[in-house]
């Protein structure tokens, strides 16, 4: 009779975990129990993927002995690298779907209210399903009671735009039936990335005691009105340079921001730093890590800054400011008396008032206040150690 297949995280059935040791016939040399098998489905925007990482500590508190699998889009998969809570990341494609359909899970958790994610939840074998699935008519439905509030936010504009004060992490924890403890995003650099950051810092002349302001200038094509105009960014950079309080970085989320940042940089050539925009999300995170303050709209760059525990000055127009948790490190700017905001519209029928009304001078004063009241005090304390 064939030996039993080891129930160990390391065993693959393809090659031995240790040289010259047959785990199948001789048993595990260092058994790491699989425990509860949990699959997270999150195929939406990269910022949402980062925000969902805040659920991982709660999952591990509830299921300390567990194996966590995560399926996401190929462009977001690098964000989950080097994450101590995740055992396996799958990039969403036909091959992944065929593998997942053959596996059996204790829990499958779907974050997304989209047909493809809901269909994946439906077809995966699991004892417990949480979040969102599809009914027989192809309609998105909540599949557990904890998902009802989250689901209703999508159905009720008044609830979402005017009543709700809960952050996305709060109601997502409820969706997944987890104890919400204000857990933070989880993002870790590799040792190689830490060396890259140090080398790049030196190459562009940023000293350890320099105060650095980072401008996240773009946003995704899905919601193009989550970014300021080029003229607004030029105004902000000009005012901050006049304050003479440190270095300024232009940060890009990808090739779509390269032309935009080049135009801004052309007004201040040699006076600010224009970071590369084509090196991928992991390198983008390396560049963003250099900043002490991140100025951003509600975009991936904002979420990345939150994950990196930076001080965030974020402005909101089309999206809901209440759903974002800055963890006490930052300020949110929004027009509470603007009748049309938030709206989540891709095209604005009102001449983009929410963008034109951004308080640019407030952004300048908040940056200066952080420099005076936090950065300088921290530097003084560091020198006195």
345 confidence band (pLDDT: 50, 70, 90)? low
Say if residue 106's pLDDT is above 70.
Answer: yes
Q: From the centroid of its chain, how far is CA 226?
A: 16
CA distance 244 to 27: 65
CA distance 16 to 38: 24
Residue where the block lists tokens 């990335």 = 193
Tens digits of residue pLDDT in 202-234: 999 999 899 999 999 876 666 566 678 899 999
Say if residue 1's pLDDT is above 50.
Answer: no
Say if residue 264's pLDDT is above 80.
Answer: yes
Give the three-class secondary structure for 50. Answer: helix
Q: Is the dihedral of CA 174, 176, 178, 180 positive or negative?
A: negative
Residue where the block lists tokens 């992944």 = 96
CA distance 297 to 277: 17
Which of 74-78, 315-319, 357-361 has the highest mean predicted lDDT (pLDDT)?
A: 74-78
Residue where the block lists tokens 């994946």 = 120
Say if residue 383's pLDDT is above 90.
Answer: no
Instruction: Give the pairing of strands 293-297 and 330-333.
Output: unpaired
CA separation (Å) from 69 to 9, 38, 145, 185? Answer: 11, 6, 23, 17
For 371, which DSSP code?
I
Q: How would you label 241-262 residue by residue, b for 16+ Cβ within 10 Å and e otherwise?
A: eeeebbbbbbbbbbeebeebbe
Average pLDDT over residues 73-88: 97
| Confidence (pLDDT) at 335 | 75
Least confident range of 61-70, 219-228, 300-309, 374-383: 219-228
Average pLDDT over residues 80-94: 97
Q: Is the dihedral of CA 209, 328, 309, 360 positive or negative?
A: negative
Half-sphere exposure (CA, 13 Å, Cβ side) for 316? 21
Q: Which two tokens stand for residue 292?
A: 């002490």
Contacts of 128 (CB under 8 A, 6+ apart): 106, 107, 108
304 and 316 in contact (C-beta within 8 Å)? Answer: no
Tens digits of residue pLDDT in 121-147: 999 999 999 999 999 999 999 999 999
CA distance 184 to 109: 19
């Amino acid at each position: 009779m064939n030996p039993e297949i080891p129930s160990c995280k390391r065993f693959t059935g393809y090659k031995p975990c240790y040289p010259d040791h047959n785990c199948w016939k001789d048993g595990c040399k260092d058994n790491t129990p699989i425990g509860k098998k949990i699959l997270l489905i999150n195929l939406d925007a990269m910022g949402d993927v980062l925000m969902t990482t805040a659920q991982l500590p709660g999952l591990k508190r509830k299921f300390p002995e567990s194996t966590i699998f995560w399926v996401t889009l190929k462009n977001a998969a690098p964000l989950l690298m080097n994450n101590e809570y995740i055992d396996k990341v799958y990039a969403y494609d036909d091959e992944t779907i065929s593998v997942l359909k053959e596996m059996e899970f204790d829990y499958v958790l779907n974050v997304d209210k989209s047909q493809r994610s809901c269909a994946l939840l439906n077809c995966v074998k699991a004892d417990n399903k949480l979040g969102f699935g599809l009914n027989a008519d192809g309609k998105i439905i909540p599949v557990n009671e904890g998902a009802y509030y989250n689901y209703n936010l999508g159905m009720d504009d008044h609830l979402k735009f005017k009543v709700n004060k809960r952050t996305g992490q709060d109601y997502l924890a409820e969706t997944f039936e987890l104890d919400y403890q204000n857990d933070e995003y989880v993002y870790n650099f590799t040792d190689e990335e830490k060396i890259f950051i140090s080398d790049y810092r030196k190459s562009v002349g940023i000293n350890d005691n320099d105060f650095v302001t980072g401008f996240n200038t773009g946003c995704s094509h899905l919601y193009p009105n989550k970014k300021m105009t080029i003229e607004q960014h030029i105004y902000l950079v000009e005012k901050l340079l006049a304050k003479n309080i440190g270095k300024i970085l232009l940060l890009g989320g990808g090739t779509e921001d390269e032309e935009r940042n080049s135009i801004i940089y052309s007004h201040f050539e040699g006076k600010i730093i224009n970071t590369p925009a084509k090196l991928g999300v992991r390198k983008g995170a390396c560049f963003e890590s250099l900043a002490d303050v991140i100025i951003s709209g509600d975009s991936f760059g904002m979420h990345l800054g939150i994950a990196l525990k930076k001080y965030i000055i974020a402005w909101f127009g089309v999206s809901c400011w209440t759903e974002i948790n800055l963890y006490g490190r930052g300020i949110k700017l929004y027009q509470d008396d603007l009748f049309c905001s938030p709206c989540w519209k891709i095209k604005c029928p009102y001449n983009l008032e929410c963008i034109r009304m951004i308080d640019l001078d407030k952004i300048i004063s908040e940056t200066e206040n952080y420099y005076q009241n936090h950065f300088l005090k921290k530097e003084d304390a560091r020198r006195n150690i």
